[in-house]
Amino acid sequence: MLKILTLGLLLVCPLSFAQPDPQSAASAQSGAASAETAPAARISDSAQRLYEQARPRLLQIRIVLKNRGAQASTGSGFIVSPDGLVVTNYHVISQLALEPDKYRVEYNGPDGRTGSLVPLGIDVRHDLAVLAIDNAKDAQPGFEWSTSEPRQGDRLYSLGNPLDIGFAVVEGTFNGYPQRGFYPQMLFTGAINPGMSGGPVLNQAGRIVGINVAKHLGGELVSFLVPARFARDLVQSASRKHPLRLPAHEEITRQLLEHQNGLASRTLAKPFHQQVHGKYRVPLLEETYARCWGDANTPKKQMLGIERSNCTMDTSLYTGLGNTGALSVQHEVYDGTRLGTWRFYRQYSASFANESYEPGSTSMTAAECHEDFVDQQGLPLRAVICARAHRKFPGLYDMSVLVTSLDGKQRGVQGRLDASGVSFDNGLKLVRHYIEGFAWAR
């Protein structure tokens, strides 16, 4: 599984890769950006000029323990309107959103000004939040939004407060949209770091094109941005008259339910892609929003042969209580002809018994399971379906199914689907859809 680090301090979660939005691509080709074209300048001069212009509108966002005043986590943010509306990432303020009795949110400016913030709205699916400076008189004029997408290769400038050591500007390059993902994110080739979450990313005209959100832990200078249009939409829906109701479990649940409906609808719309392993066809996720890997050993004397496949979504949603709203499938096809029946069956059974679930916790119930036998068009399957409920987000479940089948005395297949953060009804539909993806390879 790919490792993605969200850039607010102390918070780690995977985030999405995605396809470009056709409307945005069209607007980028329309020539509407002519008013934003800035004179060519040396890179260092551009960075210095943009930082000086942006500096009064940059903020460090701090989540603080109420009873001690100790800092719990930090991120970045920026002012987008004269009345003091501020954009940051949802994960930066997730502790406050879930436990307002324990935390409060403050800001620090580059000039030393400080103050408190009031959450107005969140977008968990795109990891965004809008807040308001408590005293609007302390606000500065806001950034302007870009009216067009950057082109691949365009120079961009990421701003924020990395590692809580001071405000910084990072030059980088826009490199389009990753090919896989459920929600669009922009690929930024630049060295953004923890603490810069929620900071603005500007084009050479000083307008916002994206928001810092994550970096890839397995690569160099591989970072991700939320497209500015999602933040702009959230700002337009925000109002000081209607602050976010805290704790925000109800709003988070509503957004997670919408997300899982879209995920289930897309997955159920057509049969799973099938891959042939030995005598079996096994179901795999679409590689338009998941990444699939496989491997196989070369069995020798007295050795079990195994072919594996594993598909995991690059998209999952961070709630503040962990990641959810994703699918994964994995399969193992066993060849025990070099072992003999008894040794094969012992290893095959041990592999199935090794499958496990996390125990119950303050945020999740313990799993409850049901076992049954299914005839899938002549392929006999043993299926174990398990579900556990989210305690803090009513109506959401993590649901899994383990599937196993034997072909004679020395061959077999095992598979598992995990669906996190789905409704019970959609979870059952996904389980059924997955089982129907198994077949003999005729």
The angle formed by the CA atoms of residues 8, 224 and 164, to the nearest 5 degrees, is 25
Residues 6+ apart with CB under 8 A from 23: none
In whole angstroms, what is the distance from residue 59 CA to residue 210 CA? Answer: 16
- Mean pLDDT of successive 10-residue stretches along the chain, which has 442 residues: 48 34 36 44 76 94 92 95 95 97 96 94 98 81 92 96 93 92 92 93 96 83 94 96 97 98 96 90 91 84 86 93 96 88 88 85 95 94 96 98 90 95 98 96 80
Say how far residue 25 (Cα) sits from the centre of its chain. 22
Residue 254 DSSP class: H
**pLDDT on residue 46:** 86
320: left (phi over 0), alpha (psi -120 to 50) or beta: left
Quickly list H helices, 124-269: 228-237, 249-268
For 47-81, how does the pLDDT look when each residue is reduced to its tens digit (9 = 90+)? 999 999 999 999 999 999 998 889 999 999 999 99
In whole angstroms, what is the distance from residue 78 CA to residue 85 CA? Answer: 8
**pLDDT on residue 337:** 84
**pLDDT on residue 41:** 47
The answer to whether the beta carbons of residues 84 and 240 sit under 8 Å apart is: no
Residue 271 DSSP class: P
For 404-433, how does the pLDDT look when each residue is reduced to its tens digit (9 = 90+)? 999 888 889 999 999 999 999 999 999 999
The answer to whether the beta carbons of residues 59 and 78 sit under 8 Å apart is: yes
Query: 343: which 2 tokens?
Result: 């040794």
**pLDDT on residue 59:** 96
In whole angstroms, what is the distance from residue 342 CA to residue 304 CA? Answer: 12
User: pLDDT above 90 covers what percent of the chain?
Assistant: 68
**pLDDT on residue 6:** 56
φ, ψ at 65 (rounded to 5°): -70, 130
**Where do the domains of the chain lie?**
4-246, 255-440
Q: Which CATH architecture has domain 255-440?
A: 3-Layer(aba) Sandwich (3.40)
Say how far residue 69 (Cα) sits from the centre of its chain. 30
What CA–CA distances, in Å, run from 382 to 310, 325, 434?
20, 26, 13
The angle formed by the CA atoms of residues 253, 254 and 259, to the nearest 5 degrees, is 95
Q: Do domains 4-246 and 255-440 have the same CATH topology?
A: no
**pLDDT on residue 53:** 93
What separation, in Å, do the N-terminal and C-terminal C-alpha atoms of the chain show?
32
Strand bridging mode 323-324 / 327-335:
unpaired
**CATH number of the domain at 4-246, please?**
2.40.10.120
**pLDDT on residue 25:** 36
